[in-house]
Structure 1
Amino acid sequence: MLILICFFGILLLFAGFRLYLYGKQMREWTRQLQELSPQSNQRLTCFVRDKATKALCLEMNNYIDAQQKAVLKSQEAERELKYTIACVSHDIRTPLTGAFGYIQLFEKTSDEKKQKKYGTIVRQKLVDLEQLLDELFLYTRLTGDAFPMEISKVRLLPLLCEVLNEFSLSFQEQEREPLLSFEDETIEVLGDKQQLRRVFQNLISNALAHGTGTLYIEQKGASLVFQNQVPEPEKLHPEWLFQRFYRTDMSRQGTHAGLGLSIARELVERMGGQIWGERKDTMLCIKIAFAVRMKQEKENLK
């Protein structure tokens, strides 16, 4: 009987000690949670080493991790929104301010030649504004969940020649020319013809706006390489080229929103391809590997 009483006494002491440890663990977790901040990397610690307590501690830490990631994502989204609003506001205000200034000059003069000149400039400013808004609208659609693509076989050379013809006057004005080199003039790739046209337009427009000299376009397999000289290659960061609103001109002068290459990347990737940039001495090379043999082509271009 005495042995039985001693056994139950020891059992009660052990149970009491375990309850004390659980209570202390709860109080310690409560303190840690109260002191925990969204920016902290601190996690709950567990000194009660039974399986259930450790499992509970692990789940709480997983929940804290998820909450902190959500907070960081929200903060990043807020910073991105502020940056986007600042860039968009500046880019839209520039042509509007210019147009308003020339309208004032138009109203102050009775010289028909000057009025015609100012009217032409205002019209161009409004065209620039329209292009900016088109870029912003397209980029917004691309970053959304739904953007329809009609994927089919597209012949590269005829489409590229059509787009180059659209820029013939711009090439003449800059006394520049494109130089094409195709190892297979019948090559076909998978893509949306209309969106592929947009990609070519953006790449050529970027080369005309920021490059100099001859624009070389070379086809190798199911890949295209666009390359031209750039005036200040040391300011160029190829790894940033396809970020939205990126410009080498940090003062954001000019009529482009800095979305052309971002749009090109989104479109190429949605068509199953890949696009990237490299700098070779004074040359900027933008390479596209299409969906047909994307991995193989990228290895061949390196």
Structure 2
Amino acid sequence: MWGWFFVFLALALLFYIYFLMRQLRKLKEAVKSLPTSASFGSRLSLDFRERTLLELVDELNMMVDAFEAKNIQAKKMEENVKLSIAGLSHDLRTPLTSINGYVQLLNSATDDAKRAHYLTVIEQSVNRLIEMTEHFYDLARIDTNQKEVALVSIPLSNLVEEIFLSFYEQFEEKKIELHFPEQPNDQKIIADKLMLTRVIQNIIQNILRYGQSKAFIHYEIEKNYLVLTVRNDIKKDSNIAIEKVFTRFYTEVTSRTNTEASGLGLYLSKMLVEKMHGEMAAELQDNWFMLKIQLPLSGG
């Protein structure tokens, strides 16, 4: 009797090993095909319900999912790089062409007034190039997660007023009136000072390019956030697509003939605000363009 029992046990073990080896061979072939099938949603599976093998397959599928997520991210970054290069080549070409043309005019001009005008235009184009390269540099660092965030407690209203008043001459030249709150808000927020400064500077540049005559700054507290609202009237012939203002390379002039704007300022600002755990939104009401920045309040 025991002899038959051992024979039966041996046969059962042989069948178990046979099906196990068969399943392993099948799994091996499935792993080989993963590079082509994984991108179509295909994952590893088993017909043989053995616990250890099932756990192994689950682990392998988790690795495949992680690889696919990184692959999608890499492709997205690659597309962003291509888009950035295309935008960069277009946006740099215009001021560079302008500089080249005015340098030639400067070399041939004898009138001092004309020479002074040409030098002013060249200086403006150079400053625009510097601003654009800074935008692209920041954008590249954000896309590759290289831009560090140093969060500290900051009195928002003081910083906003300081930066806005540093552009006083430009606002005077454009005849845009600035209106600050009568009662200054002394609430502090948690933010990165350099990032926040860049955000406010980008908002100011946006007002200087598209503003008509007035800009209002307002603060309010919503739950655990301080909300900065910057509102300005816009030129009557403005054609702003509000749903696209935070889109990379969007400018008011859809044909991209706008030589003053690269379409990165607000896009970059929104990314910087989100890196500081805040939110940024835009609204268009009648002839008024409004930007709202929401940043966490400081506990101290």
TM-score by length of 1: 0.79
1:17 aligns with 2:22: no
1:163 aligns with 2:163: yes
Could you say which residue in structure 1 is the equivalent of 2:239?
232
SS in 1 for 2:40: coil
Q: Give the whole-Å Cα distance in 1 for the aligned partners of 2:262 and 2:57.
A: 49
After superposing the two structures, state which structure 1 stretch, 162-171 or 99-108, moved more.
162-171
Could you say which residue in structure 2 is the equivalent of 1:30?
28
Counterpart residue type for residue 5 of structure 2? F
Q: Give the whole-Å Cα distance in 1 for the aligned partners of 2:27 and 2:115.
A: 76
Change beyond 3 A, Cα 1:288–1:32: same
* 1:1-302 paired onto structure 2 within 5 Å: 3-36=1-34, 37=36, 38-140=38-140, 145=146, 147=148, 149=150, 151-154=152-155, 156=157, 158-182=158-182, 184-190=183-189, 191=191, 196-221=196-221, 222-230=226-234, 231-233=238-240, 235-237=241-243, 241=246, 244-252=248-256, 253-265=258-270, 267-269=272-274, 272=276, 274-282=278-286, 283-292=288-297
Q: Is the 8 A contact 2:95 2:128 kept in 1?
A: yes
Change beyond 3 A, Cα 1:68–1:192: closer
* 1:10-35, Cα deviation, whole Å (9 max, x unpaired): 22222222222222212322332333
Q: Is the 8 A contact 2:251 2:261 kept in 1?
A: no
SS in 1 for 2:217: strand
SS in 2 for 1:201: helix
- Compute the displacement of 1:193 (Å): 5.6
Change beyond 3 A, Cα 1:155–1:61: closer
- Compute the displacement of 1:267 (Å): 4.9
Counterpart residue type for residue 120 of structure 1? T
Structure 1 residues not aligned, in runs of 5+: 295-302
SS in 1 for 2:160: helix
Size of the aligned set, in residue pairs, is 286
After superposing the two structures, state which structure 1 stretch, 243-252 or 195-204, moved more.
243-252
Could you say which residue in structure 2 is the equivalent of 1:297?
none
Q: Is the 8 A contact 1:273 1:288 kept in 2?
A: no
Q: Is the 8 A contact 2:239 2:252 kept in 1?
A: no
Could you say which residue in structure 2 is the equivalent of 1:300?
none
Structure 2 residues not aligned, in runs of 5+: none
Change beyond 3 A, Cα 1:30–1:245: same
* 1:193-247, Cα deviation, whole Å (9 max, x unpaired): 66544433221211222344422221223322112345224x2216x61x55443
SS in 2 for 1:79: helix
Q: Is the 8 A contact 1:202 1:261 kept in 2?
A: yes
TM-score by length of 2: 0.79
Q: Give the whole-Å Cα distance in 2 for the aligned partners of 1:166 and 1:21.
A: 78
Q: Give the whole-Å Cα distance in 1 for the aligned partners of 2:86 and 2:102.
A: 25
Counterpart residue type for residue 293 of structure 2? I
RMSD: 3.1
Counterpart residue type for residue 277 of structure 1? A
Could you say which residue in structure 2 is the equivalent of 1:298?
none
